[in-house]
Amino acid sequence: MIIGICDDEAAIRNRIMRICEQVLRQTDSLFEILEFEDGEQFLSYEGTVDLLVLDIEMPKRNGLEVKEYLQNLGGKTMIIFVTNHEELVFSAFGLQVFGLVLKDQLEKQFGTVLQAAIRMMNQYVLVDDAVDSRNILFIRSERVYSNLILADGSTRLVRTSMADLEQQLLQVGFIRCHRTYLINAKWVDRFNGKTVEIRGNEVPISIRKLAEVREKYRKYCEKNARYC
């Protein structure tokens, strides 16, 4: 696992690095931690980063600009924001954003959020022995087939019933929101009344399932230390 820490304050980077090392040693994971002084330096890095701990306010390129760039790129980098400004939480929200921690709460909160992010990154199911469930935005029933709508914009038709897929994916954050739709809570952007928005797609929610879906999503956020 490669973790990037992007913050213009060296003292904050050091605090985050110490917590990362403590958490990752407990998991017996192989890891590498990279430091970046600002968003521009991170964006010039040509390698890949699995998890990015990202400050919001930085010179040159701020954290929100970095987030937008990564989202438009369509990569898999997961983001944990750190900031001094709680009022920026809604601006920070995004498809690849796992959570947000206030800098004055780093020692109290960051380790828990990091552990939850690692658990999510390691939890997945191979659908049809080929498709990583983490890359599925949502699934639409097509009679005897199911159509997997993927994060890279492609689709894959599999001969597996919606009921079977629901059972396979229950433990990795998928929620049945409609008779013909199964959504991946990881990719939920927002709820809009009787629909849920997932990366520009409006997925219907059955009226009788509306309260249930919202509650399951709330529990998903709580379990994974996300804000929602």
Closest to 125 (Cα-Cα) out of 133, 136, 114, 116:
133
pLDDT of residue 195: 96
pLDDT of residue 89: 62
pLDDT of residue 97: 83
- Do 2-122 and 126-223 come out as alike in CATH topology? no
Find how far residue 189's CA is from the centre of its chain. Answer: 10
pLDDT of residue 221: 83
pLDDT of residue 114: 92
Rounded-to-integer distance, Cα 85 and Cα 118, Å: 25
Rounded-to-integer distance, Cα 66 and Cα 64, Å: 5
Tell the CATH topology of 126-223: OB fold (Dihydrolipoamide Acetyltransferase, E2P) (2.40.50)
pLDDT of residue 164: 93
Q: What is the DSSP letter of 106?
A: I
Rounded-to-integer distance, Cα 135 and Cα 124, Å: 9
Rounded-to-integer distance, Cα 99 and Cα 81, Å: 6
* For the chain, domain boundaries: 2-122, 126-223
Rounded-to-integer distance, Cα 206 and Cα 141, Å: 14
**In the CATH scheme, what is the homologous superfamily, with its name and number, of domain 2-122?**
Response regulator (3.40.50.2300)
Query: 13: how many CB neighbours lie within 10 A of its CB?
Result: 20
Which stretches of the chain drop beneath a pLDDT of 50?
A: none
- Tally of CA atoms within 13 A in the half-sphere of 131 that contains its CB: 23
- pTM score, two decimals? 0.65
pLDDT of residue 225: 59
Rounded-to-integer distance, Cα 162 and Cα 61, Å: 43
